[in-house]
Structure 1
């Protein structure tokens, strides 16, 4: 049995997304790549996102197929196990283009599942 309810894992994802967005706000790609502390903090949050995703039950993931659960877990695997292959331009593209749209989707999951819709 997981150590935490999956709903808390979704909240962890939301928190990590917000932290990534806050840390990178007003930062250029060039500034990002030159700041190893920032890069490592952001990559850690991506690991949290992916690990939390792995703990969301399959039936919940299947109910929300527009959320890229598998990609989120896959990014964690690359950062954790294939760290030497991390493509910072792809990480940056994800930050700029994908994270903001995930927030309302994740909030919907929490709201619908808590209310029992």
Structure 2
């Protein structure tokens, strides 16, 4: 994969993660739990994160070994088929606990790739 393509994929991930942060900022769990639209937006965004991570080459992911890349890539499968609803709490925990470290790693990887 060409490095420019990697930078674009990392940029896509940055955009998705920023989008999730933007739509959930200032939201408390009870509000999230009552908002079907917000839950579906986060669910779809997590599918997009999963798909984007699957497209990153192994050497890029290896540069951030503390990120659970395999689990993030598999997350998209957990969100399918559409009739299986992911527990609201699982979605919320993903936003609060798992996305911030991923977001920081993506920032570091973008800097790393741009300096190559």
Alignment of 1:98-117 (within 5 A): 98-116=98-116
Is the contact between residue 47 and residue 75 of structure 1 (CA under 8 Å) also seen in structure 2?
yes
- How many residues align? The count is 115
Look up the SS of the partner of 1:18 in the other structure: helix
Tell me the TM-score normalized by structure 2.
0.85
Relative contact order: is structure 1 or structure 2 higher (C-alpha 8 Å, sep ≥ 6)? Answer: 2
Bigger shift: residues 42-51 or 85-94: 85-94
Alignment of 1:1-117 (within 5 A): 5-81=5-81, 84-116=84-116
Root mean square deviation, CA, Å = 2.1
Once the two structures are TM-superposed, the CA of residue 43 in structure 1 deviates from its matched residue by 0.8
Once the two structures are TM-superposed, the CA of residue 82 in structure 1 deviates from its matched residue by 6.8
Structure 2, unmatched stretches of 5+, are none
Is the contact between residue 67 and residue 102 of structure 1 (CA under 8 Å) also seen in structure 2?
yes
Tell me the TM-score normalized by structure 1.
0.85
Is the contact between residue 13 and residue 49 of structure 1 (CA under 8 Å) also seen in structure 2?
yes
